[in-house]
Structure 1
């Protein structure tokens, strides 16, 4: 499963970008219980952290690697990858482009690939509608949190 979705957010690029600091993860990914740095490199790319995710009563912990990172005045970009439940390889990309002082284009792209029989079977059985809903819910949360932070700043 692959996706790319865009959303215009009525908040400055720095406000939206701040939501993608590892310490802010719970705000935009409510099932994330904890992020703990394993290795934080000065250039950020190549840094790793341990993420704990809760699904129902079960917690899953895995290592996330930041594979791409760019932070300029007009463009912010971060790509991460990790294996979830030893069944899926996840690649997620978050890109923000400055449209104006008060507007940001947010691009959320990713892929979810089954890495063993169980993972491939679960992806085939899963509903594309449900997968798309998860993506739209994430875009909604990012927009809501960015608008909230922008209002608090003004």
Structure 2
């Protein structure tokens, strides 16, 4: 691992300050991170449940963070592919927790599997497979 939770959060605040406060890196392990999305009014859809775009954001940020934990601060790593399944309604009024596991880390791509849970619940509310393009190393 190249980065731990404090460095990852500091980097998020630096490059994505507009959304950094919505997320927290809870735990970093080799090839795995646990993230929290602090659910607020803006994350809800009519009926009071967490919106699909909010769950997508958590999955996407989690895949980004697990990649950066292993390669270091690369602001220009970008999502190139996503497949996401919304499996059940999130519990109202609680944060979402995501566990992202890095399935493959190459020179140009990383592939992660992300499970999203309502805090305190055993069954996931969504799952995603995310692919990130890693910017090339500059050759001097």
For the aligned pair, the TM-score class normalised by the smaller chain equals under 0.3
Q: Which structure is larger by alpha-carbon Rg, 1 or 2? A: 1
TM-score normalised per structure 1: 0.26
Q: TM-score, normalised by structure 2?
A: 0.28
